[in-house]
DNA sequence: GTAATTTATGAAATGGATTCCATAGCAAGC
DNA sequence: GCTTGCTATGGAATCCATTTCATAAATTAC
């Protein structure tokens, strides 16, 4: 196929000039530029991007590692990432890891091989030391607190955020509280679980083990939880639920069974997802969109700078008071 | 960083020999191979894949264009694709198009730029002629009937499959039939719609416009349809529903309202998805997994061969009789 | 009117691998 | 003893674009 050399020959200029035209460099005379563009058109030429990647050492691509592409929590973060990537004219490649270390390593190896310019790890099964090793080959940003490691992170203090949610419920007078969690293997899930148990213990609240329910990720799961609650001999006055979609399913099903919310059951959501707004769910906004956007901005900056120090960006959270608590 | 030349120098061999070691070429003596592997280890060397891609003209990557990554229909196809890609040691990159032509063109341009070895188009907004233009740059496989175009395709005869479903319902004695469709912009949706209307007309079946419901893609949508049906002054005896997830939602909700299935309402699903098996839904298996697997096998073969003729692979379909009709 | 910039152009080096071709030693075949 | 075939090795060409450097012409500065 046609290459830059052939374009140069036919247009009667040097390859340098062709390259300048391709890259919009100013120092090209009007007629030569026109001649080059003409030949490009005639020969239906495009650059071989592999050659560009080789010589520039850049690929304009960042990989995103996340466990499940279809989880609501992650998809909000993805929206933030995607928006910023578009602005920066970068390409993202999505890698669903299912929390398999091997899959994640494969992506990090791509960084080492120069196939990508950086890696954004939304949630991971890898040990921090493993990630740290790869920072030698390019910037890595995680969306979990990395604890001053050699790579950047954008994170929420899940412990504090979750406690604040509980505190809010307690402040409203609720004394028995149940808890719905998403997938157990996420690291933030175990942090929240600790926060929950400690809070219950500190405040000497009544608690039953069956009020703690795992693996809730969809509206359907929420509906199932509602049915579960209805069958319990004793059920909590309030539920704190990680994920507004689950909260939505729970509420809809509970109302169907005649429960009034928050009268019979208070519901506190999490993540401030669009559906929560629709259903007036009181929730904790932990700025997931901003988290994604911020992660991309950081990695973009680090790709551009040549000796970047890691950045640790803590995002805040806030309770959005609506009508379910 | 270390490159092949440096490895060669330190190991005391030629770059050719190092390359042979890297590519498991047999003609390397035991000790030289060991020396090379040693130096590679010591210098923590890996190949710069951009150089490999440039010289070989291959990237070992295939792009997949699909409108929505989280639609069940597409995710089954993806599973088939992913499995075969893994076997062939190929990488897939997913491109969610939202049926935007620009996004799809971007991916096809990557083929032209040699960033990928082939493109698999699961569903598209592009005109066949546009796709055809890009076949000059590498193999393209679509999962829709391409009608003997210059690119390959693996497809189901949606028209015939859908008619067979209707025929089956009619054979079972149902005379009033409703219809749930997914997104309207899919090309297969309009084919099925035609099939439906023609069948109704041919057999002079009673039909009401409100029995035709669009934009049903999730269980929730199915549940909403159930509620809609319950409120109708007259409702059909049977529903044909593209997608078992929607059928599932509809059934669960209908049963909740006291309807017996198939006694009060027969339900015919589509796509033979796992949830359908669970709920004993009678459905049409149109081999979506095989469709994905087949698409990858075709493109893989075409990448390897140097003058490949397009392949047109028609998949069959069959009714899986369970207990909802 | 001379010095300093700015504009315009191309030759050649560069990035990092693969592969064709040439060469040579050595074993097998007849 | 001479040809053939296999194993082992390296030199050099190749893939294709970017970028540094050198040079020259055209402006601008003072």
Angle ∠(B175,B226,A244) on CA atoms, nearest 5? 155
Q: What does B245-267 look like in DSSP terms, one character per residue?
A: HHHHHHHHHHHHTT--TTTT-EE
User: How would you classify the pairing of strands A152-156 and B177-180?
Assistant: unpaired
A21 CA vs D19 C1’ separation (Å):
14
Contacts of B31 (CB under 8 A, 6+ apart): none
Residue A107 and residue B86: Cα distance in Å, rounded?
15
For the ranges A179-193, A288-302, B263-277, B305-319, the one whose mean pLDDT is highest: A288-302
pLDDT greater than 80 at residue A185 = no
> pLDDT above 70 covers what percent of chain B?
100
pLDDT greater than 80 at residue A307 = no
Q: Name the residue among A216, A324, A313, A169 with its Cα closest to residue A262.
A: A324
The CA-atom distances, in angstroms, between A142 and each of A126, A299, B49 are: 11, 10, 25
Q: Does A112 touch chain B (CB under 8 A)?
A: yes
Mean of the per-residue pLDDT values for chain A?
A: 92
Q: Any idea which nucleotide's C1' is nearest the CA of B52?
A: C17
A 211-250: CB under 8 A from B: 219-220
Of A50, A69, A115, the CB nearest to B69: A69
> How much is the average pLDDT of A158-185?
92
Quickly count: other Cβ atoms within 10 Å of residue A198's Cβ: 13
Torsion (CA) A169, A172, A176, A182 in degrees, nearest 10: -20
- Alpha helix ranges (H) inside chain A: 4-11, 15-22, 30-43, 49-56, 72-87, 101-112, 128-134, 158-171, 187-202, 219-231, 244-256, 274-278, 288-304
B116 CA vs D30 C1’ separation (Å):
58
Task: For residue range B147-204, list pLDDT tens digits in order.
Answer: 889 999 999 999 999 999 999 999 999 999 999 998 877 778 889 999 999 999 999 9
Task: For residue range B209-237, list pLDDT tens digits in order.
Answer: 999 999 998 877 888 899 999 999 999 99
Lowest mean pLDDT among A66-75, A162-171, B198-207: A66-75
Nearest residue to nucleotide C20 when comparing alpha carbons to its C1'?
B16
The CA-atom distances, in angstroms, between B325 and each of A86, B20, B238, B280 are: 48, 63, 8, 10
> How much is the average pLDDT of A214-222?
86
Q: Any idea which nucleotide's C1' is nearest the CA of A17?
A: C9
Give the pLDDT confidence score for residue B1 in this predicted structure: 67
pLDDT greater than 80 at residue B70 = no
pLDDT tier at B54 (50, 70, 90 boundaries)? very high
Give the pLDDT confidence score for residue A183 in this predicted structure: 84
Q: What does A10-33 look like in DSSP terms, one character per residue?
A: HHTS-HHHHHHHHTT-S-S-HHHH
Q: Does B112 touch chain A (CB under 8 A)?
A: yes
Q: How many angstroms separate the CA of residue B27 from the nearest CA in chain A?
A: 26
Cβ-defined contact of B49 to A114 (cutoff 8 Å): yes
Q: Does B278 touch chain A (CB under 8 A)?
A: no
> How much is the average pLDDT of B133-157?
92
Residues in B closer than 8 angstroms to A115, CB to CB, are: 49-50
* Helix, strand or coil, per DSSP, at residue B164: helix
Please report how many Cα atoms fall inside a 13 Å half-sphere around the Cα of residue B242, on the Cβ side: 28
Q: Any idea which nucleotide's C1' is nearest the CA of B25?
A: D8
Secondary-structure breakdown of chain B: helix, strand, coil percentages, each rounded to the nearest 5? 45, 15, 40
Q: How many residues does chain A have?
A: 325
State yes or no: cis peptide before A262, omega within 30 of 0: yes
A113 CA vs C15 C1’ separation (Å):
14
A 56-85: CB under 8 A from B: 59, 69-70, 75
Domain spanning A4-47: which CATH class is it, in words? mainly alpha
Where on the phi/psi map is residue B195: left (φ > 0), alpha (ψ -120 to 50), or beta? alpha
Q: Where are the domains of chain B?
A: 4-47, 57-157+288-316, 158-285
Of the options 3.40.50.2300, 3.40.50.1370, 3.40.50.150, 3.40.50.2000, the CATH number for the domain spanning B57-157+288-316: 3.40.50.2300
* Helix, strand or coil, per DSSP, at residue B321: coil
In what helix (H) or strand (E) does residue B275 lie, and over which residues does it extend? helix B274-278
> pLDDT above 90 covers what percent of chain B?
74
A111 CA vs D12 C1’ separation (Å):
31
> How much is the average pLDDT of A111-116?
96
* Better-predicted residue by pLDDT, A185 or B24: B24
Give the pLDDT confidence score for residue B196 in this predicted structure: 94
Contacts of A248 (CB under 8 A, 6+ apart): A219, A222, A269, A275, A276, A279, A281
Residue A110 and residue B318: Cα distance in Å, rounded?
43
> How much is the average pLDDT of A49-69?
94
Give the pLDDT confidence score for residue A1 in this predicted structure: 67
Lowest mean pLDDT among A33-37, A149-153, B7-11, B144-148: B144-148
State which fold the A158-285 domain adopts: Rossmann fold (3.40.50)
The CA-atom distances, in angstroms, between A237 and each of A4, A31, A229, A290 are: 72, 78, 11, 33
Q: Which residue of B lies nearest to A50 if distances are taken between CA atoms?
A: B54
Cβ-defined contact of B49 to A220 (cutoff 8 Å): no
Q: Does B257 touch chain A (CB under 8 A)?
A: no
Instruction: Assess contact for A140 and A134: CB atoms under 8 A.
Output: yes
Give the pLDDT confidence score for residue A219 in this predicted structure: 79
Cβ-defined contact of B50 to A220 (cutoff 8 Å): no
Quickly count: other Cβ atoms within 10 Å of residue A184's Cβ: 10
Residue A125 and residue A111: Cα distance in Å, rounded?
18
Instruction: Assess contact for A291 and A316: CB atoms under 8 A.
Output: no
Q: Does B54 touch chain A (CB under 8 A)?
A: yes
B26 CA vs D4 C1’ separation (Å):
21
Structure tokens at B36: 């090379």
Instruction: Assess contact for B267 and B251: CB atoms under 8 A.
Output: yes
Q: Name the residue among A58, A13, A54 with its Cα closest to residue A37.
A: A13
CATH 3.30.70.2200 holds for A60-157+288-316: no
Structure tokens at B9: 């120098």
Please, what is the angle between helix B158-171 and helix B187-202, to 10°?
40
- Alpha helix ranges (H) inside B88-218: 101-112, 128-134, 158-171, 187-202
> How much is the average pLDDT of A5-24?
94
**Cβ within 7 Å of nucleic strand D, residues:** A 1, 3-5, 15-16, 18-20, 22-23, 45-48, 51-52, 54-56; B 12-17, 20, 26-29, 32, 51, 54-55, 57
Q: Which residues pair with B119 in a beta bridge?
A: B63, B140
Residues in A closer than 8 angstroms to B246, CB to CB, are: none
């Amino acid at each position: 196929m046609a290459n830059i050399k052939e374009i140069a020959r036919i247009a009667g200029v040097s390859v340098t000039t062709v390259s300048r035209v391709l890259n919009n460099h100013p120092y090209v005379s009007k007629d030569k530029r026109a001649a080059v563009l003409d030949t490009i058109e005639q020969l239906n030429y495009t650059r071989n991007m592999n050659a560009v990647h080789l010589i520039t050492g850049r690929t304009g691509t960042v990989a995103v590692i996340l466990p499940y592409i279809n989880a609501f929590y992650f998809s909000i973060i993805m929206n933030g990432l995607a928006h910023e990537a578009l602005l920066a004219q970068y390409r993202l490649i999505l890698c669903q890891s299912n929390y398999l270390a091997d899959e994640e390593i494969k992506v990090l190896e791509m960084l080492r091989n120069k196939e990508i310019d950086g890696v954004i790890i939304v949630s991971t099964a890898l040990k921090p030391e493993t990630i740290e090793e790869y920072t030698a080959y390019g910037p890595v940003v995680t969306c979990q607190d990395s604890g001053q490691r050699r790579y950047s992170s954008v994170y929420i203090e899940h412990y504090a955020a979750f406690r604040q949610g509980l505190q809010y419920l307690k402040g409203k007078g609720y004394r028995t509280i149940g808890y719905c969690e998403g997938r157990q293997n996420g690291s933030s899930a175990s942090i929240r679980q600790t926060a929950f148990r400690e809070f219950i213990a500190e405040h000497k609240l009544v608690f039953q083990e069956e009020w703690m329910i795992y693996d809730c990720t969809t509206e359907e799961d929420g509906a199932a939880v509602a049915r579960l609650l209805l069958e319990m001999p004793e059920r909590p006055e309030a539920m704190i639920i990680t994920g507004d979609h689950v909260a939505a399913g729970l509420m809809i099903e509970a109302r169907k069974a005649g429960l009034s919310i928050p009268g019979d059951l208070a519901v506190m959501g999490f993540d401030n997802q669009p559906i929560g707004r629709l259903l007036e769910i009181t929730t904790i906004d932990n700025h997931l969109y901003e988290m994604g956007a911020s992660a991309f901005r950081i990695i973009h900056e680090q790709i551009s700078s040549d000796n970047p120090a890691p950045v640790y960006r803590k995002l805040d959270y806030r309770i959005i008071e609506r009508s379910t608590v």
